[in-house]
Amino acid sequence: MDKDRIKGTAKQAEGAVKEGLGKLTGDKALEVEGKIEQVEGKVQKAYGRAKDDLRKA
């Protein structure tokens, strides 16, 4: 498994926590930051998956 997949998953989790905390406290900036981190994590995870697929091919 590629390191980017692991880092992407971690970034998604961190973003979900930030988003939840932003919702809980009413901090829209933190909520948006969390959503952005989740998207970044998804992209990084997809990149790692593509790298894995290329290695297998």
Q: How confident is the model over 7-57, as pLDDT tens digits?
A: 999 999 999 999 999 999 999 999 999 999 999 999 999 999 999 999 998
Q: 3 with 43: CB under 8 angstroms?
A: no
16: buried, middle or exposed (CB in 10 Å: 19+, 13-18, 0-12)? middle
Which residue carries 């880092």 as its tokens?
7
Mean pLDDT, the chain, rounded, equals 95
> What's the pTM?
0.87
Q: Angle at Cα 11 formed by Cα 4 and Cα 49, nearest 5°?
A: 30
3: buried, middle or exposed (CB in 10 Å: 19+, 13-18, 0-12)? exposed
DSSP state of 18: H
42-55 tens-digit pLDDT:
999 999 999 999 99
How many domains does the structure of the chain reveal? Answer: 1
Query: Which residue range(s) make up the domain with 24?
Result: 3-56
